[in-house]
Protein backbone atom coordinates (compact mmCIF):
# COMPACT_ATOMS: atom_id res chain seq x y z
CA UNK A 1 0.00 0.00 0.00
CA UNK A 2 1.28 3.52 -0.68
CA UNK A 3 2.50 5.44 2.34
CA UNK A 4 0.98 8.61 3.75
CA UNK A 5 2.24 11.68 1.84
CA UNK A 6 4.71 13.84 3.73
CA UNK A 7 3.66 17.00 5.57
CA UNK A 8 4.99 19.40 2.93
CA UNK A 9 3.07 17.64 0.16
CA UNK A 10 -0.14 17.68 2.19
CA UNK A 11 0.21 21.40 2.93
CA UNK A 12 0.76 22.06 -0.79
CA UNK A 13 -2.27 19.92 -1.64
CA UNK A 14 -4.36 21.95 0.82
CA UNK A 15 -3.26 25.15 -0.90
CA UNK A 16 -4.22 23.73 -4.32
CA UNK A 17 -7.61 22.67 -2.93
CA UNK A 18 -8.32 26.24 -1.90
CA UNK A 19 -7.04 27.80 -5.14
CA UNK A 20 -9.08 25.48 -7.34
CA UNK A 21 -12.28 26.29 -5.45
CA UNK A 22 -11.77 30.00 -6.18
CA UNK A 23 -14.36 30.95 -8.81
CA UNK A 24 -11.89 33.52 -10.17
CA UNK A 25 -9.25 30.85 -10.76
CA UNK A 26 -7.70 31.01 -14.23
CA UNK A 27 -7.04 28.33 -16.83
CA UNK A 28 -3.36 28.80 -16.03
CA UNK A 29 -4.06 27.76 -12.44
CA UNK A 30 -5.61 24.51 -13.64
CA UNK A 31 -2.64 23.84 -15.92
CA UNK A 32 -0.26 24.47 -13.03
CA UNK A 33 -2.29 22.07 -10.86
CA UNK A 34 -2.09 19.38 -13.55
CA UNK A 35 1.67 19.88 -13.82
CA UNK A 36 1.99 19.51 -10.04
CA UNK A 37 -0.07 16.30 -9.99
CA UNK A 38 2.09 14.83 -12.76
CA UNK A 39 5.36 15.60 -10.97
CA UNK A 40 4.97 12.82 -8.40
CA UNK A 41 2.48 10.04 -7.79
CA UNK A 42 2.07 11.11 -4.16
CA UNK A 43 0.77 14.55 -5.17
CA UNK A 44 -2.61 13.33 -6.42
CA UNK A 45 -2.89 10.99 -3.44
CA UNK A 46 -2.30 13.94 -1.10
CA UNK A 47 -4.82 16.07 -2.99
CA UNK A 48 -7.46 13.34 -2.72
CA UNK A 49 -6.81 13.02 1.04
CA UNK A 50 -7.23 16.75 1.54
CA UNK A 51 -10.36 16.74 -0.62
CA UNK A 52 -11.84 13.96 1.50
CA UNK A 53 -10.96 15.88 4.64
CA UNK A 54 -12.62 19.03 3.32
CA UNK A 55 -15.78 17.10 2.49
CA UNK A 56 -15.94 15.55 5.95
CA UNK A 57 -15.43 18.88 7.69
CA UNK A 58 -18.14 20.47 5.56
CA UNK A 59 -20.82 17.94 6.50
CA UNK A 60 -20.46 17.50 10.28
CA UNK A 61 -21.94 19.72 12.97
CA UNK A 62 -19.79 22.24 14.84
CA UNK A 63 -19.57 20.20 18.08
CA UNK A 64 -18.49 17.02 16.29
CA UNK A 65 -16.04 19.00 14.20
CA UNK A 66 -14.46 20.41 17.34
CA UNK A 67 -14.11 16.91 18.79
CA UNK A 68 -12.63 15.66 15.52
CA UNK A 69 -10.08 18.49 15.47
CA UNK A 70 -9.15 17.87 19.11
CA UNK A 71 -8.61 14.19 18.34
CA UNK A 72 -6.66 14.44 15.11
CA UNK A 73 -5.01 17.87 15.26
CA UNK A 74 -4.45 18.92 18.89
CA UNK A 75 -1.86 21.61 19.78
CA UNK A 76 0.64 18.90 20.76
CA UNK A 77 0.43 15.68 18.81
CA UNK A 78 2.01 12.38 19.83
CA UNK A 79 4.34 10.77 17.32
CA UNK A 80 2.12 8.39 15.41
CA UNK A 81 2.02 7.04 11.88
CA UNK A 82 -0.67 9.59 10.89
CA UNK A 83 1.32 12.60 12.14
CA UNK A 84 1.72 14.19 8.64
CA UNK A 85 -2.00 13.88 7.97
CA UNK A 86 -2.84 15.40 11.36
CA UNK A 87 -0.53 18.31 10.63
CA UNK A 88 -2.21 18.80 7.27
CA UNK A 89 -5.60 18.67 8.98
CA UNK A 90 -4.60 21.62 11.13
CA UNK A 91 -3.50 23.49 8.00
CA UNK A 92 -6.72 22.68 6.18
CA UNK A 93 -8.81 23.83 9.12
CA UNK A 94 -6.94 27.13 9.18
CA UNK A 95 -7.25 27.60 5.42
CA UNK A 96 -10.88 26.60 5.06
CA UNK A 97 -12.30 27.69 8.40
CA UNK A 98 -14.52 30.35 6.84
CA UNK A 99 -15.88 27.94 4.25
CA UNK A 100 -16.54 25.17 6.78
CA UNK A 101 -18.24 27.53 9.22
CA UNK A 102 -20.56 28.73 6.49
CA UNK A 103 -21.29 25.21 5.29
CA UNK A 104 -22.14 23.82 8.70
CA UNK A 105 -24.16 26.90 9.62
CA UNK A 106 -26.53 26.20 6.77
CA UNK A 107 -27.46 22.59 7.52
CA UNK A 108 -29.58 22.32 4.36
CA UNK A 109 -26.51 22.73 2.13
CA UNK A 110 -24.36 19.74 1.17
CA UNK A 111 -21.11 20.33 -0.68
CA UNK A 112 -18.45 17.98 -2.05
CA UNK A 113 -15.45 18.00 -4.38
CA UNK A 114 -14.25 15.25 -6.72
CA UNK A 115 -11.09 14.89 -8.79
CA UNK A 116 -9.56 12.33 -11.11
CA UNK A 117 -5.89 11.78 -11.87
CA UNK A 118 -4.21 12.16 -15.26
CA UNK A 119 -5.06 9.19 -17.51
CA UNK A 120 -7.55 7.81 -14.98
CA UNK A 121 -11.33 7.84 -15.36
CA UNK A 122 -13.58 7.77 -12.31
CA UNK A 123 -17.29 7.18 -11.65
CA UNK A 124 -19.09 8.76 -8.69
CA UNK A 125 -22.61 8.42 -7.34
CA UNK A 126 -24.18 11.66 -6.14
CA UNK A 127 -26.49 11.69 -3.10
CA UNK A 128 -29.55 12.46 -5.27
CA UNK A 129 -29.15 9.23 -7.24
CA UNK A 130 -27.41 10.83 -10.23
CA UNK A 131 -24.24 9.26 -11.64
CA UNK A 132 -21.22 11.11 -13.00
CA UNK A 133 -18.41 9.51 -15.00
CA UNK A 134 -15.31 11.72 -14.90
CA UNK A 135 -12.57 11.67 -17.53
CA UNK A 136 -8.87 11.94 -16.76
CA UNK A 137 -7.58 15.03 -14.91
CA UNK A 138 -11.07 16.33 -14.23
CA UNK A 139 -12.46 18.26 -11.29
CA UNK A 140 -15.98 19.05 -10.18
CA UNK A 141 -17.69 20.42 -7.09
CA UNK A 142 -21.29 19.95 -5.99
CA UNK A 143 -23.58 22.12 -3.89
CA UNK A 144 -26.97 20.62 -3.15
CA UNK A 145 -29.75 22.47 -1.33
CA UNK A 146 -33.39 21.63 -0.83
CA UNK A 147 -34.29 23.84 -3.77
CA UNK A 148 -31.64 22.99 -6.36
CA UNK A 149 -28.63 20.88 -7.25
CA UNK A 150 -25.60 22.76 -8.57
CA UNK A 151 -22.45 21.26 -10.03
CA UNK A 152 -19.40 23.09 -11.32
CA UNK A 153 -17.03 21.40 -13.76
CA UNK A 154 -13.74 23.13 -13.07
CA UNK A 155 -11.64 21.10 -15.51
CA UNK A 156 -11.81 18.14 -17.84
CA UNK A 157 -14.82 16.11 -18.95
CA UNK A 158 -17.79 14.40 -17.32
CA UNK A 159 -20.80 12.36 -18.42
CA UNK A 160 -23.94 13.00 -16.35
CA UNK A 161 -26.86 10.63 -15.90
CA UNK A 162 -29.25 12.76 -13.92
CA UNK A 163 -31.99 11.58 -11.58
CA UNK A 164 -34.77 13.93 -12.61
CA UNK A 165 -36.53 15.97 -9.93
CA UNK A 166 -38.63 18.91 -11.12
CA UNK A 167 -38.69 20.39 -7.61
CA UNK A 168 -34.89 20.36 -7.38
CA UNK A 169 -33.37 21.51 -10.70
CA UNK A 170 -29.98 20.10 -11.70
CA UNK A 171 -27.69 22.87 -13.03
CA UNK A 172 -24.10 22.47 -14.23
CA UNK A 173 -21.85 25.53 -14.52
CA UNK A 174 -18.82 25.36 -16.83
CA UNK A 175 -16.96 28.65 -17.11
CA UNK A 176 -19.34 31.08 -18.82
CA UNK A 177 -21.92 28.40 -19.65
CA UNK A 178 -24.74 26.91 -17.58
CA UNK A 179 -26.62 23.73 -18.43
CA UNK A 180 -30.04 23.00 -16.96
CA UNK A 181 -31.12 19.37 -17.02
CA UNK A 182 -34.60 18.37 -18.18
CA UNK A 183 -34.47 14.60 -17.54
CA UNK A 184 -31.26 13.87 -19.34
CA UNK A 185 -27.96 12.13 -19.95
CA UNK A 186 -25.28 14.41 -21.37
CA UNK A 187 -21.53 14.84 -21.69
CA UNK A 188 -19.66 18.08 -20.97
CA UNK A 189 -16.08 18.75 -21.98
CA UNK A 190 -14.19 21.85 -20.83
CA UNK A 191 -11.06 22.98 -22.66
CA UNK A 192 -10.08 26.24 -21.00
CA UNK A 193 -13.12 28.45 -21.57
CA UNK A 194 -14.30 26.41 -24.56
CA UNK A 195 -17.23 24.14 -23.69
CA UNK A 196 -18.83 21.27 -25.58
CA UNK A 197 -22.12 19.67 -24.50
CA UNK A 198 -23.29 16.45 -26.16
CA UNK A 199 -26.79 15.21 -25.31
CA UNK A 200 -27.37 11.45 -25.45
CA UNK A 201 -30.83 11.28 -23.83
CA UNK A 202 -33.64 13.77 -23.22
CA UNK A 203 -32.91 17.47 -23.54
CA UNK A 204 -31.12 20.34 -21.81
CA UNK A 205 -31.30 24.11 -21.76
CA UNK A 206 -27.96 25.84 -22.27
CA UNK A 207 -27.24 29.44 -21.29
CA UNK A 208 -24.18 31.47 -22.23
CA UNK A 209 -22.54 34.02 -19.94
CA UNK A 210 -25.31 36.56 -20.51
CA UNK A 211 -28.14 34.17 -19.67
CA UNK A 212 -29.21 32.41 -16.51
CA UNK A 213 -30.22 28.84 -15.73
CA UNK A 214 -32.03 29.81 -12.53
CA UNK A 215 -35.39 30.04 -14.27
CA UNK A 216 -37.03 28.23 -17.15
CA UNK A 217 -36.94 31.14 -19.57
CA UNK A 218 -36.32 31.49 -23.29
CA UNK A 219 -34.28 34.26 -24.80
CA UNK A 220 -31.40 35.16 -27.12
CA UNK A 221 -28.80 33.73 -24.73
CA UNK A 222 -30.42 30.31 -24.31
CA UNK A 223 -30.87 27.38 -26.62
CA UNK A 224 -32.33 23.94 -26.11
CA UNK A 225 -30.53 20.81 -27.25
CA UNK A 226 -32.01 17.33 -27.58
CA UNK A 227 -30.55 13.84 -27.85
CA UNK A 228 -28.24 13.56 -30.85
CA UNK A 229 -27.11 17.20 -30.73
CA UNK A 230 -23.81 18.70 -29.69
CA UNK A 231 -23.50 22.34 -28.64
CA UNK A 232 -20.13 24.10 -28.78
CA UNK A 233 -19.46 27.38 -26.99
CA UNK A 234 -16.72 29.59 -28.45
CA UNK A 235 -15.59 32.18 -25.86
CA UNK A 236 -13.96 34.38 -28.50
CA UNK A 237 -17.24 34.83 -30.36
CA UNK A 238 -19.40 34.39 -27.23
CA UNK A 239 -21.60 32.20 -29.39
CA UNK A 240 -23.02 28.68 -29.38
CA UNK A 241 -23.34 26.38 -32.38
CA UNK A 242 -25.17 23.07 -32.84
CA UNK A 243 -24.02 19.99 -34.74
CA UNK A 244 -25.11 16.33 -34.84
CA UNK A 245 -23.44 13.72 -32.61
CA UNK A 246 -23.97 10.03 -31.90
CA UNK A 247 -23.97 8.57 -28.38
CA UNK A 248 -20.82 6.64 -29.31
CA UNK A 249 -19.03 9.85 -30.31
CA UNK A 250 -20.24 11.72 -27.23
CA UNK A 251 -18.79 9.19 -24.80
CA UNK A 252 -15.91 7.76 -26.85
CA UNK A 253 -13.47 8.77 -24.11
CA UNK A 254 -15.05 6.15 -21.85
CA UNK A 255 -13.73 3.57 -24.35
CA UNK A 256 -10.24 5.17 -24.38
CA UNK A 257 -10.80 7.21 -27.53
CA UNK A 258 -10.74 10.99 -27.91
CA UNK A 259 -12.78 12.12 -30.89
CA UNK A 260 -12.60 15.56 -32.48
CA UNK A 261 -14.53 17.12 -35.34
CA UNK A 262 -12.92 20.18 -36.92
CA UNK A 263 -11.56 21.47 -33.59
CA UNK A 264 -8.57 23.79 -32.97
CA UNK A 265 -5.29 22.03 -32.26
CA UNK A 266 -5.12 24.03 -29.03
CA UNK A 267 -8.30 22.29 -27.82
CA UNK A 268 -7.09 18.89 -29.01
CA UNK A 269 -3.80 19.18 -27.12
CA UNK A 270 -5.55 20.42 -23.97
CA UNK A 271 -7.59 17.20 -23.93
CA UNK A 272 -4.68 14.98 -24.91
CA UNK A 273 -2.81 16.36 -21.89
CA UNK A 274 -5.45 14.90 -19.60
CA UNK A 275 -4.26 11.45 -20.66
CA UNK A 276 -0.58 12.01 -21.45
CA UNK A 277 2.08 11.26 -18.85
CA UNK A 278 4.35 13.81 -20.55
CA UNK A 279 2.53 17.14 -21.12
CA UNK A 280 2.44 18.49 -24.67
CA UNK A 281 3.03 22.21 -25.27
CA UNK A 282 2.43 24.27 -28.43
CA UNK A 283 5.34 26.67 -28.84
CA UNK A 284 3.96 28.77 -31.72
CA UNK A 285 0.57 30.47 -31.57
CA UNK A 286 -0.08 29.98 -35.30
CA UNK A 287 -0.30 26.23 -34.70
CA UNK A 288 -3.07 26.58 -32.12
CA UNK A 289 -5.70 27.56 -34.70
CA UNK A 290 -5.04 24.62 -37.03
CA UNK A 291 -8.10 22.36 -37.03
CA UNK A 292 -8.08 18.62 -36.48
CA UNK A 293 -10.66 15.91 -37.18
CA UNK A 294 -10.00 12.37 -36.08
CA UNK A 295 -9.68 9.85 -33.26
CA UNK A 296 -6.83 9.59 -30.77
CA UNK A 297 -6.44 6.44 -28.71
CA UNK A 298 -5.43 7.36 -25.18
CA UNK A 299 -3.03 4.40 -25.03
CA UNK A 300 -1.36 5.43 -28.30
CA UNK A 301 -0.73 9.16 -27.82
CA UNK A 302 2.98 8.84 -28.63
CA UNK A 303 2.18 7.23 -31.99
CA UNK A 304 -0.31 10.00 -32.76
CA UNK A 305 2.26 12.67 -31.94
CA UNK A 306 4.81 10.94 -34.14
CA UNK A 307 2.41 11.10 -37.10
CA UNK A 308 1.42 14.77 -36.61
CA UNK A 309 4.17 16.21 -38.89
CA UNK A 310 2.56 14.26 -41.75
CA UNK A 311 -0.67 16.20 -41.20
CA UNK A 312 0.46 19.64 -40.04
CA UNK A 313 3.50 21.84 -40.79
CA UNK A 314 5.05 21.30 -37.38
CA UNK A 315 7.97 19.70 -35.62
CA UNK A 316 7.69 17.36 -32.62
CA UNK A 317 10.52 17.66 -30.09
CA UNK A 318 10.66 15.27 -27.16
CA UNK A 319 12.33 16.16 -23.89
CA UNK A 320 12.71 14.25 -20.68
CA UNK A 321 9.51 15.66 -19.15
CA UNK A 322 7.52 17.19 -22.02
CA UNK A 323 6.80 17.27 -25.73
CA UNK A 324 7.04 20.51 -27.72
CA UNK A 325 5.16 21.23 -30.94
CA UNK A 326 6.78 24.02 -32.95
CA UNK A 327 6.43 25.51 -36.42
CA UNK A 328 8.30 23.37 -38.97
CA UNK A 329 9.89 26.52 -40.39
CA UNK A 330 11.45 27.44 -37.07
CA UNK A 331 15.06 26.45 -36.72
CA UNK A 332 15.54 23.93 -33.91
CA UNK A 333 17.46 25.10 -30.85
CA UNK A 334 21.15 24.08 -30.89
> What pLDDT is attached to residue 219?
46
pLDDT for the residue numbered 166? 86
* CATH T-level topology, domain 256-327: Phage tail protein beta-alpha-beta fold (3.55.50)
* CATH code for the structural domain at 111-250: 2.60.120.1440
- In terms of pLDDT, which residue wins out, 137 or 18? 137
Q: Is pLDDT of 157 > 50? A: yes
Residue of 195 and 78 predicted with greater confidence: 195
Q: pLDDT, tens digit, for every residue of 19-35?
A: 776 645 566 777 788 78
pLDDT higher than threshold 90 for residue 329: no
Lowest-pLDDT range of 140-149, 167-176, 212-221, 307-316:
212-221
Q: Above 90 in pLDDT, residue 247? A: yes
pLDDT of residue 99: 41
The answer to which of 65-79, 144-158, 186-200, 223-237 has the lowest mean pLDDT is 65-79
Determine the pLDDT at residue 57. 58
Pick 253 or 321 by higher pLDDT.
Answer: 253
**What confidence tier does 80 reach under pLDDT thresholds 50, 70, 90?**
very low
Whether the predicted pLDDT of 169 surpasses 90: yes
pLDDT value of position 25: 55
Has residue 209 got a pLDDT over 50?
yes
Please state the three-class secondary structure of the chain as a single string. Answer: CCCCCCHHHHHHHHHHHHHHCCCCCCHHHHHHHHHHHHHCHHHHHHHHHHHHHHHHHHHCCHHHHHHHHHHHCCCCCCCCCCHHHHHHHHHHHHHHHHHHHHHHHCCCCEEEEEECCCCCCEEEECCCCCEEEECCCCEEEEEECCCCEEEEEEEEEEEEECCCCCCCCEEEEECCEEEEEEEEEEEEEEECCEEEEEEEEEEEEEECCCCCCCCCCCCCCEEEEECCEEEEEECCCCEEEEEECCHHHHCHHHHCEEEEEEEEHHHHHHHHCCCCCCCEEECCHHHHCCEEEEEEECCCHHHHHHHHHHCCCEEEEECCCCEEEEECCCCCCC
Percentage of the chain exceeding pLDDT 90: 53
- pLDDT, position 137: 94
Q: Any idea where the domains of the chain sit in the sequence?
A: 7-107, 111-250, 256-327
Write down the pLDDT at residue 148: 93
pLDDT tens readout for residues 271-280 = 999 999 899 9
Provide mean pLDDT across the span 282-311: 96
Span 58-75, mean pLDDT? 50
* Total-model pTM: 0.73
pLDDT at residue number 325: 97
More confident residue, 89 or 42: 42
pLDDT of residue 300: 97
pLDDT of residue 3: 54
Does residue 156 have a pLDDT over 90?
A: yes
Residue 114 predicted with pLDDT over 50 = yes
Q: Do domains 111-250 and 256-327 have the same CATH topology?
A: no
Mean pLDDT of 161-189: 93
Highest mean pLDDT of the ranges 81-85, 98-102, 306-310: 306-310
Amino acid sequence: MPGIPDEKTLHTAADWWLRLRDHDGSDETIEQWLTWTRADRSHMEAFERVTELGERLGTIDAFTRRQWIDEFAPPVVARRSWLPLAAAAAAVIALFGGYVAWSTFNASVTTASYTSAVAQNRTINLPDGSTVAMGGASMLTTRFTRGERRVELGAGEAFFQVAHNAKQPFIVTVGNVSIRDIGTAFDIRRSGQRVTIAVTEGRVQIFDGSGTADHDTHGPHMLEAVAGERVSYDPDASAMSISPVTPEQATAWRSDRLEFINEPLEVVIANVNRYSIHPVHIADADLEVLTFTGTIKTDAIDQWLGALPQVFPLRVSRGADQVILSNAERRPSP
